[in-house]
């Protein structure tokens, strides 16, 4: 699907592919643009895997970097061949090993002065109604980390000054940080609404709630499944959020990147006694609470920032909504992340495209179109423009695609209209919407090609599309009745 997005929007893209057919892995990198109907390759080079600070072994990656000659070549090519306001997109072609954890943005944004955005492998952008920008923030780091209260206070203030809408924040953090936050002096009357949730509620929920499944490999075997997901969901009391921000240490469980959290938020533990949470669990939590935006924060004392980066990349590639990674040491006040939230929350073109070296972003091209000052002309349609891109993918099919609108399952208009001015959206409505969006994205990604694909596969696709459409109709009907 990422390649279809690139072709449909005519993106200026830095494509990175890992060639595993040689004696040692080689990263094949090319810069491609669309000055005319067909793509043009402006630059092409190959780099040994080790030049990115990566090894061929199984040990976790550390010291990741972008080769200096790659940065210089991209900088020179952009200056020579691309308009000044062209956004550059990064397409990492799976399988690409640990290249998703390389700090591409930290090296290329300062050198080129251009936004660098990662191309997701999902569509469409999630429907996200509501007049209030509601954010759930979950923080689990080393016990009594001195920076937590100041960071959260500053980030929340930056959200208030950056996001045009009213801001409502729910904070879920370990006991020590929660007490430090409560000790801070209250802000003025224009401060965002902040709900500081008691970590003791997590253990209470575990004692009084229904039995949890323990056949889930998403948690460290020594501690069992963490309580955070249930605590966050219960604390929101049936109301969806529009964004979920998670700050936690990274780690590797074998080759798998995970987040390290306290098993019980009321009793923070040393890193050696923590629970491990996988990317799939984080993604499911975001869908469960209805969050369109998901962001990962790498704390200042993170012992394994590369794991956090790789997890954020892995999740962002596969989500329909915006996904951010932010390095807190480079953005200690949370300003850059707050501006990224403002970009997706505001009116198109009202906030500049995120281009801070402290973060990376997976964004669908629809979010970026109106933010570019100099749109390029569409060679096929006089008077039309494209963002280094043309019409959205819903308007014209590329070869082999069955589009959501053609299947009648895109939907979301009734939900958007009903809750456009609501303070919050019911969690079940938002979670159902996220589920349907994921199913649509999967169907579009694997749909057969009329005239090429066997009739049985085409019939299967139509059946799945009809089932999704019926589910959408059921959600709409239940929503009207509630």
Digit-coded pLDDT (tens) for 220-243 = 444 445 689 999 999 999 999 999
Residue 127 lies in a domain: no
Q: Which residue range forms the structural domain that includes residue 477?
A: 397-481
- 433-449 burial: b if 16+ Cβ within 10 Å, else e: bbebbbbbbebbeebbe
Q: Which two tokens stand for residue 138?
A: 């979950």
Distances (CA, A) of 318 to 56, 158, 268: 25, 28, 31
pLDDT for 471: 86
Min mean pLDDT across 63-67, 329-333, 414-418, 435-439 is at: 414-418
Same structural domain, 140 and 223: yes
Residue 441 lies in a domain: yes
Q: Tell me: cis bond preceding 95? Omega within 30 of 0 counts.
A: yes
Same structural domain, 136 and 118: no
Number of domains the chain is built from = 3
pLDDT for 384: 36
Is 149:331 a contact under the CB 8 Å cutoff?
Answer: no
Domain's final residue, options 101, 122, 143: 122
Is 247:138 a contact under the CB 8 Å cutoff?
Answer: yes
Min mean pLDDT across 218-222, 255-259, 448-452 is at: 218-222
CATH number at residue 18: 3.30.420
Name the phi and psi angles at 252, rounded to 5: -120, 130
Q: Is the pLDDT of residue 409 over 90?
A: no
| Torsion (CA) 215, 216, 219, 222 in degrees, nearest 10 | 10
Distances (CA, A) of 157 to 141, 151, 154, 167, 172: 21, 10, 5, 10, 17
Which ranges constitute the DSSP H helices of 32-138? 68-81, 104-112
Same structural domain, 68 and 197: no
Confidence class of residue 103 from pLDDT cuts 50, 70 and 90?
very high
CATH number at residue 171: 3.40.50
Same structural domain, 265 and 341: yes
Residue 198 lies in a domain: yes
Residue 238 lies in a domain: yes
Confidence class of residue 469 from pLDDT cuts 50, 70 and 90?
confident
Cα 424 to Cα 415: distance, rounded to the nearest angstrom? 12
Is 258:250 a contact under the CB 8 Å cutoff?
Answer: yes
Q: Which two tokens stand for residue 283?
A: 């993604």
Same structural domain, 153 and 297: yes
Residue 80 lies in a domain: yes
Q: Which residues contact 459 (CB under 8 A, 6 or more apart)?
A: none
Q: Which residues contact 395 (CB under 8 A, 6 or more apart)?
A: none
Q: Which two tokens stand for residue 189?
A: 């009357």
Q: Is the pLDDT of residue 320 over 90?
A: no
Residue 376 lies in a domain: no
Separate counts of helices (H) and strands (E) for the chain: 14, 16
Same structural domain, 146 and 71: no
Is 262:276 a contact under the CB 8 Å cutoff?
Answer: no
pLDDT for 309: 97
Count how many Cα atoms sit within 13 Å of the Cα of residue 134 in the half-sphere of its side chain: 23
What is the DSSP secondary-structure string of 194-237? EEE--THHHHHHHHHSPPPP---TTS-TTT-S-SHHHHHHHHTT
What is the average pLDDT across 407-422? 65
Residue 405 lies in a domain: yes
Same structural domain, 344 and 430: no
pLDDT for 367: 79
Q: Which two tokens stand for residue 472?
A: 């959408």
Min mean pLDDT across 308-317, 351-360, 465-474 is at: 465-474
pLDDT for 373: 46
Confidence class of residue 403 from pLDDT cuts 50, 70 and 90?
very low
Domain's final residue, options 73, 102, 122: 122
* DSSP conformation class of 144: T
Domain's final residue, options 122, 147, 174: 122
Same structural domain, 96 and 138: no
Residue 379 lies in a domain: no
Higher pLDDT, 365 or 186: 365
What is the DSSP secondary-structure string of 276-305? EE-HHHHHHHHHHTT-SEEEEEE-TT-TTH
Name the phi and psi angles at 39, rounded to 5: -70, 150
Digit-coded pLDDT (tens) for 275-284 = 999 999 999 9
Same structural domain, 58 and 141: no
Cα 167 to Cα 192: distance, rounded to the nearest angstrom? 5
Confidence class of residue 476 from pLDDT cuts 50, 70 and 90?
confident
Closest CA to 25 of 65, 60, 54, 67: 54
Confidence class of residue 142 from pLDDT cuts 50, 70 and 90?
confident
Same structural domain, 117 and 190: no
Distances (CA, A) of 423 to 168, 239, 380, 420, 459: 10, 10, 43, 9, 42
Higher pLDDT, 106 or 5: 106
Cα 6 to Cα 22: distance, rounded to the nearest angstrom? 28
Same structural domain, 322 and 243: yes
Cα 259 to Cα 267: distance, rounded to the nearest angstrom? 18
Min mean pLDDT across 235-239, 322-326, 347-351, 441-445 is at: 441-445
Strand 275-277, strand 256-261: pairing:
antiparallel
Q: Is 222 exposed, middle or buried (0-12, 13-18, 19+ CB in 10 A)?
A: exposed
Average pLDDT of the chain?
83
pLDDT for 372: 60
Angle at 407 between CA 403 and CA 412, to 5 degrees: 90
Same structural domain, 246 and 303: yes
């Amino acid at each position: 699907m990422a390649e279809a997005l690139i072709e449909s929007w005519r993106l200026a893209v830095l494509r990175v592919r890992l060639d595993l057919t040689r004696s040692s892995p080689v990263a094949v990198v090319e810069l491609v643009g669309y000055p005319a109907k067909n793509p043009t390759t402006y630059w092409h080079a190959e780099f040994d895997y080790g030049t990115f600070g990566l090894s061929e072994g199984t040990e976790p990656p550390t010291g990741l970097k972008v080769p200096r000659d790659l940065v210089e070549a991209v900088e020179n090519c952009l200056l020579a061949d691309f308009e000044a306001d062209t956004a550059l997109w990064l397409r990492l072609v799976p399988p690409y090993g640990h290249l998703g954890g390389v700090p591409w943005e930290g090296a290329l944004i300062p050198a080129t002065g251009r936004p660098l955005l990662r191309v997701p492998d999902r569509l469409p952008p999630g429907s996200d109604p509501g007049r209030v920008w509601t954010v759930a923030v979950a923080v689990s780091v080393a016990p009594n980390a001195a920076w937590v209260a100041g960071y959260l206070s500053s980030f929340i203030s930056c959200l208030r000054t950056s996001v045009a809408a009213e801001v409502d924040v729910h904070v879920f953090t370990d006991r020590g940080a929660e007490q430090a936050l409560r000790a801070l002096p209250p802000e003025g009357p224009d401060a965002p609404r902040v709900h500081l949730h008691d970590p003791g509620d997590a253990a209470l929920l575990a004692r009084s709630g229904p039995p949890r499944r323990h056949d889930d490999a998403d948690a460290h075997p020594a501690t069992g499944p963490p309580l955070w997901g249930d605590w966050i969901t219960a604390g929101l009391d049936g109301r969806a959020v529009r964004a979920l921000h998670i700050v936690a240490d990274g780690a590797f469980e074998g080759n798998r990147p995970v987040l390290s959290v306290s098993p019980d938020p009321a009793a923070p533990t040393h890193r050696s006694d923590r629970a491990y949470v996988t990317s799939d669990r984080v993604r499911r939590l975001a869908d469960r609470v209805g969050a369109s935006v998901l962001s990962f924060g790498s704390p200042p004392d993170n012992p394994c920032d590369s794991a956090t980066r790789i997890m954020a990349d892995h999740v962002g590639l596969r989500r329909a909504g915006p996904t951010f990674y932010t390095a807190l040491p480079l953005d200690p006040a949370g300003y850059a992340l707050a501006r990224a939230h403002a970009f997706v929350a505001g009116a198109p073109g009202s906030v500049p495209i995120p281009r801070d070296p402290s973060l990376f972003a997976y964004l669908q091209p629809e979010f970026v179109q109106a933010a570019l000052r100099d749109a390029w002309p569409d060679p096929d349609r006089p008077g039309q423009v494209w963002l280094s891109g043309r019409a959205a993918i819903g308007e014209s099919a590329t070869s082999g695609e069955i589009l959501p609108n053609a299947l009648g399952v895109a939907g979301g208009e009734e939900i958007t209209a009903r809750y456009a001015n609501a303070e919050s959206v019911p969690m079940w409505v938002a979670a159902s919407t996220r589920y349907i969006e994921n199913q649509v994205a999967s169907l579009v990604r694997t749909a057969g090609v009329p005239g090429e694909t066997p009739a049985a596969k085409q019939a299967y696709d139509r059946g799945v599309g009809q089932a999704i459409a019926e589910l959408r109709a059921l959600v709409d009907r239940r929503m009207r009745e509630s």
